[in-house]
Amino acid sequence: MILEIDVGNTFLKWRLRAGTRVVGSGRHASAAVDELPLMQFQSVDAVLVGSVAGESVNETLRQTLERYGLPSPWFAATAGTACGVTNSYAKPETMGVDRWLAMLAAWRRLGVGCCVVDSGSAITIDLLDDQGVHQGGFILPGMRLLQKALLGNTARVFLNSEEAIEQLRPANNTSDAVAQGAGFILEGVAMRLDTLLGSGLPLLITGGDGPAFRRLMGRGQLVPELVMDGLQLAYVERTG
């Protein structure tokens, strides 16, 4: 069995695969490595990790896995080319591995030019042409990051993306006004992207706020595990 782990800035997601069949999955706070149900993973043959959380979290994850007798994890890295995709960055290693893995999975799934949106703590938008060449992208803060940037941790409750687009209206207190403003920005991003793409370019959407972004766009295919799909592809290509 294969254990795949996607470590983001906010959440750590995992899934357990037996061949092509997913037999378990979960989500935890990104730093809560000890919350992984590691005793369930004793029959794992390999551990694959895609992480943007930094070396400290990665090392904690590595030590925790090895302490429970699991295989030493394989960490994915952004490359110049892989799985038919060509990176546009002069220094490929400076691109976030989550963006890279999502593009690998998108290309394998579609095999044509497309747009890939990962709507999470940050919103990343990347474009591939019909040869699998990255045409560049956009990075902007997501819902929760926008709210935290203005309010820190002082807000009583952060409004989530679904609430924001359902309840979009002027607010009469600072906390709610910031939350509504974040929703306003998310809606504006979706409208501008829709204009940029036109009607013909396929759109794949992933990330925790993916459902809300898909709703605002009114089109596109929602693929919740796109990054982990790319992780699997990168591992197979690298290890043969």
Both tokens assigned to 75: 């960490």
Q: Taking Cα atoms as reference points, which of 184, 191, 205 lies closest to residue 125?
A: 205
The answer to whether residues 102 and 230 touch, using CB atoms and an 8 Å cutoff, is yes
| Alpha helices (H) in 19-133, listed in sequence order | 55-67, 97-110
How far is Cα 88 from Cα 80, in angstroms, rounded to an integer? 8
> Cα-atom radius of gyration of the chain, to the nearest Å?
18
45 is catalytic: no
Contacts of 148 (CB under 8 A, 6+ apart): 158
Burial of residue 76 (CB within 10 Å: 0-12, 13-18, 19+) is: buried
Helix (H) or strand (E) holding 34: none
Catalytic residue among 34, 45, 98, 129: 98
Active site (catalytic) residues:
98
